[in-house]
Structure 1
Amino acid sequence: MEIKETIGELLRTSKELLKIIELDIEQAGDEREIKKYNEVIGFCEQVVRIIETYPQDKEIVFLDCSCGKSYLSFALNIILKKQFAVNTYFYGVDTNRILIEKCDRIRNSLGFRNMHFINGRIIDVQPEKPVDILIALHACDIATDEAIAKGIKLGAKYIVVVPCCEGQVRGRIKRGHPLVDLTDFGLLRYRFADILTEALRAQFLTGAGYHVKLTEITSPKFTPKNLMIIARRKKGNKRYNLDKYKKLDEMFNTEFVLNNYFNEQELGQDNLLSPVN
């Protein structure tokens, strides 16, 4: 059985979990839950492929950014434990206090002792355990960039994000760049902003010492926001080299938000990145 099919079957039979986290597609009243369900399965599939590269006895620590109701972390927790016998620990962070309190209640009702939820900003959180894999599923607009920045600062081995909206770039590419004849048209500007935003994120991660892969987590019929960025920290000591990112940023005058999470000293090419364990 393929990994995706295995994950889907395990989730479908985990009826208590699906009911508690309000992701029971058999009882779904609209298409939004089905969409979210397929997004979670697609995301989990990619994480499982990453997990297969780790030693069997290692505790793998996740940081789920803008976790919301934590569909993803709860699903991963049960999948990795039941099907793959992986030892895990999950941190979830969100600025919404009500949702964090709800996650705490769900964790307690399920008896998951390997989960800790934090009410606060992504960039400010300081997990006690070293983070192996940072994840974010549809963290809205610049929250995705905050998650990427946090992953880099923490030295996470993997940063795995599925971005949401790209409002920041869309508003800045109406004029003053080489492709202005293309972005004169609203629909084309909207779509180009998506592409440019993900290119900026990918180039920043590459310049910060990560190997970057872009893939899709599910069919576009479920959601157009199905692009996933998988960034794996390169081994050995690496230096920042953001030349490609800066060139792209300057070409389109985006003043991209990732810049704001780092000071000049951090982004200097002489700054040596910590080696990967």
Structure 2
Amino acid sequence: MNPDPSHSELTLPDIVLQSLQSGECIQLLLCKPSDKQVSAFKKVTLRPLIIKGKSHYQFALLRGRQEVHENLLWEESIPRIKELWTEHFREGYLFTQQADYHFRKTKQGHVSMKKHAPTKAQQKEAETHNRSKQYLIPEGVPCAFLEAIGVMSGAGKVKAAQYHKFRQINRYMEFINDIVPSLPGSGELNIVDFGCGKSYLTFATHYLFTKILKRRVNITGLDLKQSVVAHCQQIAKDLQCQGLTFETGDISRFQSGANKYDLSISLHACDTATDAAIAAAVSSDTDVIMAVPCCQHELFQQISSLSQAGLLKHGILKEKIASLVTDALRALVLEICGYRTQVIEFIETEHTPKNLLIRAVKRQRQLPGRELRELVHQFRSLKDQYGINTFYLEQALGEQFKKLCQMPGYAMTGNDG
């Protein structure tokens, strides 16, 4: 089916490649994995998007219960989707404005194709029509807290130098809005922001729940700097933000007391402060945890691997690997502790290199013992592979985490199935 005679007949159909190159692809789905291992890719979804005026495709890759996103230019997407199809999947669906296509690898050694009437064309037109209305806080509409923190003028105009922050705030609110179904549906919500800093996301969270969703909240912003806390408290007082308070304190010494938090957020808490925030949230049985890590130095001094010596001898590359390994271990710890975890792109890399968001939702039912053992195996193998002896988050959780790693199964309560 592919004109290149050097490839087998199991390559992607021409119509798929043509739709990706022409931009006619609305969505592409690869499923039915060839590998049945828990660690294998289960599904890949691809959709077009524009980043900084350039055409990209966003890949949502589901491995086990963890989803990771990749944003690639369209010319980079073609070899990536070819690789995923060839090595990992047996079936796919292509959605265009003209038609839907279902293709699969057959036992006879070729790819069969069926064409159907389009199902997503109207959805695509609606998305195009509504593109300018997608922000939860729209441009041109005055917003008191954005004016107070210097992002917007009193007339609702976003300041040019603050536009990236305006987009970041809206993006973060979208992520929080996505997990609202995992929070209690009624009553007051208890929320904590660890390492809140200047608190623009704390105010955004308060705005989302009180002004847009009409919920009552009890939000606590925690930070080490007393001057910053006093400044944020004054803004909250001036804006009459009910249910929003700020406290001076160390994340690692945080005690929730009688409070059970429904949502924990942390933005750019430096190094192990992110781990302290995650540990505090897990220990408090928080329903949803959202963390955007900052600098990850803890593993940089430990990390080593004979098989990757050529990669790790370069300091800048070693730093990137250490950051990725740190976040991978964090995600695995959360999975082991009973959370459905995703690692998602938070904001485009031209704004900040620290652009990953770890989002974890408490499961309602326990994982089967086999899946739990596989997660523990992945966690230990990753540590062994990179010569990691100590990991702050593991130590911060102490006996709670140690017992989970030794149990064939575990009981829990929460909001996700």
Do these two structures clear the TM 0.5 threshold for a shared fold by scoring above it? yes
Structure 2 matches for 1:254-265, cutoff 5 A? 254=388, 255-264=390-399
Alpha-carbon separation, structure 2, partners of 1:121 and 1:4:
40
Q: Per the alignment, do residues 199 and 155 of structure 1 end up closer, same or farther by CA in structure 2, a change over 3 Å counting?
A: same
Gaps of 5+ in 2: 1-129
Q: Is the aligned partner of 1:253 residue 2:376? A: no
Is it true that 1:20 corresponds to 2:148 in the alignment? yes
The one-character-per-residue Cα deviations of 1:26-66 (angstroms, maximum 9, x if unpaired) are: 57584xx4433332221111001111444543322211010
Q: Which piece of structure 1 moves more, 35-44 or 68-77?
A: 35-44
For the residues of structure 1 that align with 2:252 and 2:132, how far apart are their CA atoms? 33
Name the amino acid aligned to 1:120.
Answer: G
Matched, 1:95 2:229: no
Letter in 2 for 1:248: L
Residues 164-186 of structure 1: CA distance to partner in whole angstroms, max 9, x if unpaired?
Answer: 1112222322x455422211122
Q: For residue 378 of structure 2, give the secondary structure of its aligned residue in structure 1.
A: helix
**Greater percentage in strand:** 2
Report the equivalent of 2:302.
172
Matched, 1:47 2:176: yes
- The answer to whether 1:228 aligns with 2:350 is no
Q: 2:285 aligned with 1:159, yes or no?
A: no
Q: Name the amino acid aligned to 2:190.
A: V
Conserved in 1, the CA contact under 8 Å of 2:333 and 2:394?
Answer: no
Counterpart-to-counterpart distance in 2, 1:210 and 1:64: 19
Whether the 8 Å contact between 1:140 and 1:164 is mirrored in structure 2 is yes
| Runs of 4+, deviation exceeding 6 Å | none
Indicate the structure whose relative CO is greater, using CA pairs within 8 Å and at least 6 residues apart.
1
* Equivalent position of 2:329 in the other structure: 200
The number of aligned residues is 273
Q: CA deviation at 1:70?
A: 1.0
Query: 1:146 Cα deviation (Å)?
Result: 0.8
TM, length-normalised to structure 1: 0.87
Q: Provide the C-alpha distance between the structure 2 equivalents of 1:3 and 1:234, rounded to a whole number of angstroms.
A: 35
The corresponding residue for 1:66 is 195
Matched, 1:110 2:239: yes
- Stretch deviating more after TM superposition (92-101 or 184-193): 184-193
SS at match of 1:139: coil
Quick one: structure 1 residues 78 and 265, their matched pair in 2 at CA, closer, same or farther if it must change by over 3 Å? closer
1:52-91 CA-to-partner distances (Å, cap 9, x unmatched) read: 4445433222110100111101112112222222332211
Change beyond 3 A, Cα 1:262–1:83? closer
The one-character-per-residue Cα deviations of 1:158-207 (angstroms, maximum 9, x if unpaired) are 1111111112222322x455422211122321221221111111111111
C-alpha contact 1:210 1:234 (8 A) present in aligned 2: yes
Pair 177,139 (structure 1): closer, same or farther in 2 beyond 3 Å:
farther
The answer to whether the 8 Å contact 1:38/1:222 transfers is no
Scaled by the length of structure 2, the TM-score of the pair is 0.59
Alignment check: 8 A CA contact 2:149 2:200 kept: yes
Q: Indicate conservation of the 8 Å contact 1:132/1:156, yes or no.
A: yes
Q: 1:94 to 1:177 in 2, by over 3 A?
A: farther
State the SS of the aligned residue for 1:169: coil
Structure 1 stretches of 5 or more lacking a match? none
SS in 1 for 2:215: coil
CA distance in 1, matches of 2:265, 2:360: 11
**What SS class does the counterpart of residue 13 from structure 1 fall into?**
coil
Confirm or deny: 8 A CA contact 1:207 1:243 kept in the other structure: no
Q: Secondary structure at the match of 2:382?
A: helix
Name 2:274's counterpart in structure 1.
144
Asked if the contact 1:77/1:88 (under 8 Å) is kept, the reply is yes
